[in-house]
Amino acid sequence: MRSTLFGLPLAAGLLFCAPVFAQDAPQPSLWRRGADLFDQGKLLATGGVSQVEGAGGGGLANWALISGYGTDNGIGLNGHYTYVGLPDYHLHTMGVAVGLFDRLELSYAWQEFNTRSVGAALGLGQGYTFHQNIFGAKLKLVGDIVYDQDSWMPQISIGLQHKENDRGAVIAFVGGKGSVGTDFYLAASKLFLAQSVLANVTLRETKANQFGILGFGGDKYDDYSTQVETSLAYLFSKDFALGAEFRTKPSNLSIAKEQNGWDIFAAYFLNKNLSLTAAYVDLGNIVIRNHQRGAYVSLQAGL
């Protein structure tokens, strides 16, 4: 009853205003204007691909650019799937990211880490899985990766990745101090266009063990530490880049010495709607298994 009382004047008001709207007939419809926001106005590849935690970047490394192809007047939206196959583990990641006005990026990723036979060896069960939700936000502060070719100013962004792991008991058992953690980072990306080279350096404050898959903080060290992500890519054409990345990781748990990761990647941008990344990745030791090196493939589709 109450809603009807409020609804009636509203409806009357809308009717009253309808002729006013009608006079603006040349104005594009709301739907049209909404669709126009997905302007795909950025240059190919300048939206990057989806890094392993779902942010706009490379593979292991986060970049300063805002995901998607929306310009400062538009929005870019994309989803991705990433698979990492290692000798003793594998990882699936699915996620979505939205880039708002080439200024703010919001992302969500879901990860499933499968321990395969290691799970059985540790008494957790064959194929025991860890899951993680990652909520990310990235804000572009200064610089532009494409236009600032006349200065050394890189594009600089700050961001965070909030991670929630569903295996608190196991994490506690292996010495982890928490199943929830937040990484903070500062990223700088520079395109040396005349040289066709893209360089990135990111500093990350983190407590995460193996990206958070083994929780946050540990019996050996339970505080934030500064980690580095670097990547360097060479652009062979508008739609193809080859590069290498290096990412340091803390070693907080006494049961295993966590090592740094690196990869060599190829990214192919079919168009602004679809990109494919393939990499050879080395994550070093993971818990009781050394030499975790293998294939990384990622597909990103977007508007």
Q: Which is nearer to other proteins, 58 or 212 (CB)?
A: 58
DSSP per-residue string spanning the chain? -HHHHHHHHHHHHHHHHHHHHHHTTTSPPHHHHHHHT----SPTTTT-EE-TTSSEESSSSB-SSPSSS--TT-EEEEEEEEEEE-SS-EEEEEEEEEEETTTEEEEEEEEEEE-HHHHHHTTS-TT-EEEEEEEEEEEEEE--TTT-TTSSPPEEEEEEEEEEES-HHHHHHTTEEESEEEEEEEEEEEEEGGGTEEEEEEEEEE-BSGGGTT-EEESS--S-EEEEEEEEEEEEETTEEEEEEEE------SSS----EEEEEEEEEEETTEEEEEEEEE---BTTB---EEEEEEEEEE-
Per rule CB under 8 A, is residue 194 in the interface with other proteins?
yes
Residue 14 contacts other proteins per CB under 8 A: no
The smaller minimum CB distance to other proteins, of residues 136 and 154, is found at: 154
* Nearest-approach distance from CB 160 to other proteins, in angstroms: 24
Task: Report how far residue 109's alpha carbon sits from residue 120's, in angstroms, rounded to the nearest whole number.
Answer: 27
Which segment (11-19, 71-79, 205-213, 291-299) binds other proteins by CB under 8 A?
Answer: 71-79
Given the rule CB under 8 A, which of 111-119, 127-135, 177-185, 227-235 is the region that contacts other proteins?
227-235
> Which residue, 135 or 246, has its beta carbon nearer to other proteins?
246
Nearer to other proteins, 144 or 222 (CB): 144
- Interacting residues with other proteins between 228 and 287 (CB under 8 A): 228, 230, 232, 234-238, 244, 246, 248, 260
Q: Quick check: 170 binds other proteins (CB under 8 A)? A: no
Check residue 39 for interaction with other proteins (CB under 8 A). yes
Binding positions for other proteins, 120-159, rule CB under 8 A: 144, 146-150
State the nearest-atom distance from the C-beta of 194 to other proteins, in Å. 4
CB of 102 to other proteins, least distance (A): 8
Q: Quick check: 196 binds other proteins (CB under 8 A)? A: yes
Phi, psi dihedral angles at 7 (to 5 degrees): -70, -35
Nearer to other proteins by Cβ, of 21 and 234: the residue is: 234
Q: Which residue number, 126 or 196, has a Cβ lying nearer to other proteins?
A: 196
Contact 163, 113 (CB under 8 A): no
Least CB distance to other proteins at residue 68 (A): 13
Place of tokens 């975790």: 292
Does 164 sit near other proteins (CB under 8 A)?
no
Q: How many CB atoms neighbour CB 225 within 10 A?
A: 15
Q: Which of 199, 278, 297, 301 binds other proteins (CB under 8 A)?
A: 199
Which residues are near other proteins by CB under 8 A? 39, 41-44, 71-74, 102, 144, 146-150, 192-197, 199, 228, 230, 232, 234-238, 244, 246, 248, 260
